[in-house]
Structure 1
Amino acid sequence: MERLKMENETYLQIYHLVNRPEDIDTLSLEFGESVGVIAAILNQKIVSKVKRKMGLLQKRGKNFRYLWEKGMDINTLATNNDVPATLMASVIIRELGYSKKHVLKNLDTLDDRRLASEIEEATSSDHFFSPKAHALQVVKGQMGEDIISKWLDHHQLGYSTEEDLRAMGMQKTPDFFLDKPLYVDDTEVGWIESKAMFGDEREHSHYYKKQFQHYEREYGTGMVIYWYGHIDTLEFEGNLIRDHNFYTDLNEEIDDEINELLSSTL
Structure 2
Amino acid sequence: MIHPDDDMLAALALGESIPNDVAAHVGACATCSREVAALRSTLSVLREPVPALTAPPASVWDAVLTEIGAPPASLDAPSASLDAPPASLGAPADELSVRRERKERRGIPLVWVAGAAAAGILLGVAGGRLLGAEDPAPAPITVASAELGTLDTGQVKGSADVVRLDGQLDLAVRTDPIDAGDGYLEVWLINKDLERMVSIGVLRPDAPEQTFAIDQALIDQGYVIVDISREGFDAAPQHSGDSVVRGTLAT
TM-score bracket relative to the smaller structure: under 0.3
Q: Taking structure 2 as the reference length, what is the TM-score of the superposition?
A: 0.21
Q: Taking structure 1 as the reference length, what is the TM-score of the superposition?
A: 0.20
The structure that is helix-richer by fraction is 1
The structure that is strand-richer by fraction is 2
